[in-house]
Amino acid sequence: MISLTGDDNLILNNGSDRVLKDFGDGDIATLNFPDKLVEAKVGKNGNTIFAFKASGKKVEVEIRVLAGSNDDKFLNKELTMYQQNPPSYVLMSGEFIKRVGDGKGKVTNVVYKLENGLVAGYPNAKENVDGEIEQSLAIYSLIFVNTDRIMG
């Protein structure tokens, strides 16, 4: 089995599709699922209860974009719109599309469908005189719920 990856896409939707492009270095986009989808409890005589856990569909997304870039401005605008009027804010949706090749020309798209999300807070900032590159990045945290993973 071979797995070739590359040319992934992160698309955010809030009225129109925006393909993010102004990424920095390293892990430019990370999706973390902090909760399990299922909980289990073993009782007397080995009887077991499995229960769906809705919070398992929540995903925390970290995006590393160039500070001052168009994507930085877009994400900052989303955060500002939420702060100005939280009840009327239109939640974001989107897709993280991971492209995986088999080495024989066949590509499988692993698609994370992101629903009902928003920017969770301001990106951190720093100044560094030793050439630290993170001072040129805006690292955003976003939260989405009702996430699905689809392979096709």
Provide the residue ranges of all domains of the chain, joining segments of one domain with +.
4-151
Q: Looking at 2-134, list the stretches that DSSP marks H as alpha helix, in order from N- to C-terminal side.
A: 70-84
pLDDT for 99-117, tens place per residue? 999 999 999 999 999 999 9
Instruction: Please give the pLDDT value at position 131.
Output: 86
Say if CB 113 and CB 91 are below 8 A apart: no
Span 64-73, mean pLDDT? 97
How far, in Å, CA of 138 to CA of 133, rounded?
A: 11
Model confidence band, residue 14 (pLDDT cutoffs 50, 70, 90): confident
**Alpha-carbon torsion 71, 76, 79, 80, what sign?**
negative
